[in-house]
């Protein structure tokens, strides 16, 4: 969402390493086919996703490519800040050592607390 003021979707992880692009491809089915996305370099090769240019081996990026990367980074900074806020809760950024059955509940609770902290979740009195 604009200015990173809402958590739109949460993908609760599962054991083992998984590439960002593979998680994205699985989640992309939830959205309209024409929906455009912006991602970091971990999402290169995805459909309908804008990613920064990568420097090729022994080559440099052109000024136009660098400027486009800066513009994309300035749009994504809000998302990166939101990820940082989620990771303040160390349980969301470190290895989970408890029973894996409760992991999803804990992550969704953390996301709810983050929404409360940034002001998008308002509790009724």
- Sketch the domain layout of the chain as residue ranges: 2-118
Asked whether 64 and 54 are in contact (CB, 8 A), the reply is no
Q: How far is CA 41 from CA 10, 16, 59, in A?
A: 20, 21, 17
- Gap between the Cα atoms of 40 and 83, Å rounded: 13
Q: Residues in the chain with pLDDT < 70? A: 1-9, 11, 13-15, 120-125
Q: What would the pLDDT profile of 27-62 be if each residue is shown by its tens digit? A: 888 888 888 888 888 888 878 888 888 888 888 989
Tell me 55's DSSP state: P
pTM strictly above 0.75: no
């Amino acid at each position: 969402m604009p200015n990173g003021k809402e958590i739109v979707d949460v993908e609760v992880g599962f054991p083992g390493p998984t590439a960002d692009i593979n998680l994205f491809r699985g989640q992309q089915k939830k959205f309209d086919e024409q929906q455009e996305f912006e991602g970091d370099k971990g999402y290169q090769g995805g459909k309908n996703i804008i990613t920064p240019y990568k420097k090729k081996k022994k080559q440099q990026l052109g000024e136009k490519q660098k400027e486009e990367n800066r513009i994309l980074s300035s749009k994504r900074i809000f998302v990166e800040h939101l990820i940082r806020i989620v990771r303040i809760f160390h349980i969301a950024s470190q290895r989970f050592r408890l029973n894996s059955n409760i992991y999803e509940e804990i992550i969704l609770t953390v996301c709810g607390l983050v929404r409360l902290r940034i002001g998008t979740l308002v509790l009724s009195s």
